[in-house]
Amino acid sequence: MIENFNRFVLANIGALLDGLWVTTYVCFWAFLLAVVLGLIVCLIRMRLPYVRVVAIAYIEFCRATPVLVQLLWVNYVWPDIFGFPGTVTGAGIIALALQSSGYFAETFRSGIEGLPKGQIEAGLAVGLRPRQIMGRIMLPQVGLVMAPSLINQIAVIIKSSTLVSVIAIPDLMYEALRIVNQWFEPIEILTSVASVYFFVIFTLSMTANKISDALNTKIGLLYR
């Protein structure tokens, strides 16, 4: 077992680390894009009644379509229709962001609608503009409410990113499968990769929970 680990895992550690970097890159930008898209769609649904149906259709489509289908759709269909993305990495980022943005939109909406209307009226009474009310009153509280869902969705993006290898993005899973197909020794390689994903998600979840608790203690007191 140790000999196989040294031969198949340690001997290919450089390729696996390169794959881990690609995974981190894809997940990071997919998460940021998902948050932005989710907030935009949420505001469209809540503030623009004439296009609310479009926002609802977008949310339902993103949440009801499997990630694998979205990956293949964005990678093979979008370039012919929209002219982008031009790379498989871009396709992976967009596809992962699409699904998560649907969940983020609903999380934002539930958080905003759960705020007492008196706070918004008080903000208007003291002369705050809608943008100031959104940035100073609404978003900080929504952030506290949606923190658990945010953490969970980060983990979902990381786990879903294992599918981007099907469109030849050289992420961690892609490199692991390439080594397995080369040596036909999956035990040590896939076990090591599973351990890496577990460690990354567990560490990220623990860190995010601590940050969330700290913010809830400091910021949450301001809104009580």
pLDDT tens profile 94-128: 999 998 999 999 888 877 777 766 766 777 777 77
Residue type, 212: S
Query: Where along the chain do its domains lie?
Result: 2-223
Q: Is the pLDDT of residue 58 over 60?
A: yes
pLDDT for the residue numbered 221: 45
Q: What percent of the chain has pLDDT over 90?
A: 42
User: What confidence tens digit (pLDDT) does each residue in 7-54 have?
Assistant: 667 777 888 899 999 999 999 999 999 999 998 999 899 888 888 999
2-223: what CATH class?
mainly alpha
CB environment 31-53: b (16+ within 10 A), e (fewer) = bebbbebbbebbbbbeeeeeeee
> Which of 108-117, 146-155, 159-168 reaches the highest mean pLDDT?
159-168
Confidence of residue 220 (pLDDT cuts 50, 70, 90): low
Tell me the Cα Rg of the chain. 21
